[in-house]
Amino acid sequence: MSKSKKSFSFALAMLTALTLVLSACGGGSNSAESDSASGGKDSEKPVNLIWYTIGTPQKDVDKVMAEVSKYTKEKINATVTMKMVDWGDYAQKMQVNVASGEPMDIVFTAAGGFDYVQNARKGAFMELDDLLEKYGQGIKKTIDPAFLEGSKVDGHNYGIPANKELPQQEVWRFNKKLLDKYNFDITKVKSLDSIEPLLKTIKEKEPGVTPFAMDKNYVPYVPYDYVIQNLPMAVKLDTTDYKIVDILETPEMKQALTTMHKYYQAGYIAPEAATTGSTSDLMTSGNWFMDRAQTQPLADNSWSASYGYPVVSSPASDPIITNTSVQGSIMAISANSEHPEKAMEFLNLLNTDPVLRNMVDSGIEGVHYKKVDDKHMENLPESKNYDMPSYSLGNNMLLYLNPNDPDDKWDQFKKFNASGKNSPILSFNFDSTKVATEMAAVQNVKEQFWASLMTGTVDPETYLPKAIAAFKQAGLDKVMAEAQKQLDEWRAANNK
Amino acid sequence: MAAFFKNLLKNKVMLFMVLPGAIWFFFFSYLPLVGTIVAFKQYRFSRDGFWASIFNSKWVGWDNFKFLFSTNDAYTITRNTLLYNIAFIIIGLVLSVAMAVLLSELVGKTMAKIYQTGMFLPYFLSWVIVGYFAFSFLSMDRGMLNQILGWFGAEPVQWYSDPKYWPYILIFVSLWKSVGYNSVVYLASIMGIDKSLYEAAMIDGASKWQQIRNITIPMLSPIIIIMTLLAVGRIFYADFGLFYQVPRDSGTLYSVTNVIDTYVYRGLKTTGEIGMSTAAGLYQSVVGFVLVIVSNFVVRKIDKDSALF
């Protein structure tokens, strides 16, 4: 017995010693690295910026970045290395990169994917207020001020949003083939109730068609803005007292859910909507009549093009500028960046210089694309090796137009952006740290009730009170009180 | 100390063979243990990397564990996790051993191989695929089960919104996937049983059933105990894929499908508090550790040779 104890304590001692040695090694190499970095700060030597962005890695990225680097070296004395991380892996991989201190300068982040607000709060991004003032005047001039205002976290900017569509507006989308067949007039359609006669006709006359297509993320539109997406805390859009309410207790939501359940029972909605992850099968087959989606200018054209049959839409809500719509695509500077000034200069150039912006987006002129006239361009066959998601790479309004785009495409965007109304809680970001325990419980209740209520699968008469009680039991009231406290402070600080 | 080194020297060949495994365990199981510190911290990033982040994060004591116990869900998830795992262990054990005995008694060895391979296959499927298999049976409007019910004039069943069927479905699917694999383990040790034992029994006039009961099962008992002890150690871990993918994350089924792992995932996927998920993992492993020690202690009281340690 005593012998085994001895060998155990010896093993433990060895373990401790080894851990010490290993951590010492780690520390040592770190300090050496930063030494060499500060040593190499000579003004002449170009700086290399490492840029992580989302999307399926493209074959020609390095080739294009070599070209980009030539251009940026001349303009701001910096070169660029781009690292693409595939859609599904991005959030997780970036989480690891940040946690392990991987060298990074510029990082793509958004309200979805690799969450902007959360990671800004956790210290993943650098605060940009001073840098923006010093090196980002171009950005401040070109992009809609609502973007910079709306992407503030606790009063500071941590990223540069891409200039693109600003408000979010819900529309009803229709399969035009069926619309024409039955001669429906969609100009009068707007509310959830107004679509009933259309759904009824389709249900009766088109047995193989899903009248109202939706997946489990569907939520009926009500004129509220959510404090956190899909948690039942919301503020009414025309609020004057900035009171946070439980959305499930509002008459609007109750009404909407009752209507949804009526539609569900009438068979307008697929029986398994509450567990359906995506409706892309329906979209491919064309066996659907209508659904709801978020729009942007010229959206009908791009939907029709991607489905291969005509799709038209009609508004289901007013265009509203919310945190989610503003934080759809942001480029941040990593907190561990060695060259934050250069990174900011680069972001400034990217958002103001059409040559650079188009090179990053479409590749090398003459290889990946060719210019048709001064506004339009055409992809060449090589573009399949450099097919980038435009939305994630900075100012969209500098992009050359595709052959089918109307000349005034970006003017239409500007008009759309100007039509948006600010949500009352635009740029208020709830910090849930103090109520993290309750948040975990509330999230679970949400997962349990949300999809089946929102898709109309269950009867709100019995399930709504159950859901409300479950949320209360999980501590929603405490979370709401904390949110209200923060909102009131925010209101006082911002003179709302 | 001298005795220790002498011992080391004496067993150097054996120890050398253990070395790769030991190194693996050191790096992937022991070194990360330091990270359990995160369970007691409010983890925030620091620009100087992981160690600095841990060092600079705020101590929060037991706060990270609170969410596991704060609501009624705590009872549901603990009950579901434990009961399902107990069912999997007991039914799985009985079925796997039965299958192994049956396979070993088959005369046609080609057929035995075919059965074995057929049963083995589901083990290699991912839960996402198994989830879609189940969906093709249970879909409300296109599922096979509802069509069969239709032939008998019965009403279609809303499988994904009625919790009462799910304990059976989950146990069935889990066993379908795991029994084939486990039976191979038992089959291998049946193959290792000395054939002369059976010959002697046959000469004494023992029937097949008597041979199985008095030779096969007793000879299998050490491996049965080891496999069960190992399973008991993971009794607080639920198979995430089984409980998340197979019921298609349907909210109305949570009363019978919510387990510790899915609860943690759903609760933290939006806030992403690393500290809280580490706390959940630590809680699961500590309980598993205690259970293994206790059950091993019990086994040792009964039969010293069968115990793990």
Instruction: List CB contacts (< 8 A) between B48 and chain A.
Output: 30, 101, 336
Distance of CA B229 to the CA centre of its chain: 11
How close A447 comes to chain B (CA, Å)? 6
The residue type of A123 is G
Contact between residue B41 and residue B275 where contact means Cβ atoms under 8 Å apart: yes
pTM to 2 decimals? 0.81
* Alpha helices by DSSP H, A136-279: 137-142, 145-150, 176-181, 196-205, 251-265
Residue B251 has pLDDT above 60, yes or no: yes
Residue A136's nearest CA partner among A357, A353, A344 is A344
The residue type of A125 is F
Angle at the Cα of B307 from the Cα atoms of B306 and B309, rounded to 5 degrees: 140
Contact between residue A338 and residue A126 where contact means Cβ atoms under 8 Å apart: no
Chain A to chain B Cβ contacts (< 8 Å):
133
CB contact under 8 A, A448 and B141: no
Give the pLDDT of residue A22.
44
Residue A457's nearest CA partner among A327, A299, A271, A208 is A271
Residues 6+ apart with CB under 8 A from A52: A83, A84, A85, A94, A97, A104, A106, A107, A108
To the nearest whole number, what is the mean pLDDT of chain B? 90
Give the pLDDT band (50/70/90) at residue B44: confident
Instruction: List CB contacts (< 8 A) between B270 and chain A.
Output: 228, 439, 443
Residue pLDDT tens, chain A, 496 long:
344 444 444 444 444 444 444 444 433 333 333 333 443 444 568 999 999 999 999 999 999 999 999 999 999 999 999 999 998 889 888 988 888 888 999 999 998 778 899 889 888 999 999 999 999 999 999 998 889 988 999 889 999 999 999 999 999 999 999 999 999 999 889 999 999 999 999 999 999 899 999 999 999 999 999 998 878 999 999 999 999 999 999 999 999 999 999 999 999 999 889 988 888 888 989 999 999 999 999 999 889 988 999 999 999 999 999 988 899 899 999 999 999 999 999 999 999 999 999 999 999 999 999 998 888 999 999 988 999 998 999 999 999 998 888 889 999 999 999 999 999 998 899 998 889 899 999 999 999 999 999 999 999 999 999 999 999 999 999 999 999 999 999 999 887 7
Rounded to whole angstroms, the Cα distance separating A57 from A111 reads: 22
Give the pLDDT of residue B198.
92
Residue B273's nearest CA partner among A159, A431, A66 is A431
Contact between residue B187 and residue B116 where contact means Cβ atoms under 8 Å apart: yes
Nearest to A101 among B48, B250, B258 (CB): B48
What's the average model confidence in pLDDT over B68-77?
A: 86
Nearest to A441 among B4, B63, B267 (CB): B267
Residues 6+ apart with CB under 8 A from B214: B201, B206
Contact between residue B236 and residue B121 where contact means Cβ atoms under 8 Å apart: no
What's the average model confidence in pLDDT over B45-60?
A: 82
Angle at which helices A354-362 and A61-76 cross, to 10°: 170
Instruction: List CB contacts (< 8 A) between A3 and chain B.
Output: 3-4
Instruction: List CB contacts (< 8 A) between A95 and chain B.
Output: 272
The residue type of B123 is Y
CB contact under 8 A, A122 and B267: no
Nearest to A441 among B67, B251, B272 (CB): B67
Residues 6+ apart with CB under 8 A from A167: A319, A320, A321, A322, A325, A416, A417, A419, A420, A421
Give the pLDDT of residue A16.
46
Contact between residue B276 and residue B67 where contact means Cβ atoms under 8 Å apart: yes
How close A314 comes to chain B (CA, Å)? 31
Nearest to A10 among B4, B46, B67 (CB): B4
| Two structure tokens written together for A95 | 């989480």
Give the pLDDT band (50/70/90) at residue B155: confident
- Please report how many Cα atoms fall inside a 13 Å half-sphere around the Cα of residue A128, on the Cβ side: 36
Contact between residue A275 and residue B143 where contact means Cβ atoms under 8 Å apart: no
Closest chain B residue to the Cα of A337, Cα to Cα: B47
| Two structure tokens written together for B2 | 């001298």
Contact between residue A288 and residue A279 where contact means Cβ atoms under 8 Å apart: yes
CB contact under 8 A, A443 and B71: no
The residue type of A114 is F
Instruction: List CB contacts (< 8 A) between B1 and chain A.
Output: 6, 10
Rounded to whole angstroms, the Cα distance separating A108 from A51 reads: 8
Give the pLDDT of residue B48.
75
What ipTM was reported for this prediction?
0.81
CB contact under 8 A, A30 and B43: no
Query: What is the per-residue DSSP string for A19-36?
Result: HHHHHHHHHHHHHHHHHH
Contact between residue B96 and residue B189 where contact means Cβ atoms under 8 Å apart: no
Rounded to whole angstroms, the Cα distance separating B3 from A476 reads: 63
Query: What is the per-residue DSSP string for B83-100?
Result: HHHHHHHHHHHHHHHHHH
Contact between residue B146 and residue B140 where contact means Cβ atoms under 8 Å apart: yes
Contact between residue A162 and residue A337 where contact means Cβ atoms under 8 Å apart: no
Instruction: Write A149-155 long-range contacts (CB < 8 A, 24+).
Output: A149/A426, A149/A427, A150/A321, A150/A322, A150/A323, A150/A326, A150/A327, A150/A426, A150/A427, A151/A116, A151/A326, A151/A327, A151/A330, A151/A427, A152/A427, A153/A116, A153/A117, A153/A120, A153/A121, A153/A429, A154/A121, A154/A429, A154/A431, A155/A493
What's the average model confidence in pLDDT over B115-134?
A: 91
Provide the β-strand partners of residue A313: A173
- List strand residue ranges (DSSP E) for A359-491, in order: 369-371, 377-379, 421-422
Give the pLDDT of residue B286.
92
Pairing state between β A170-175 and A245-246:
unpaired
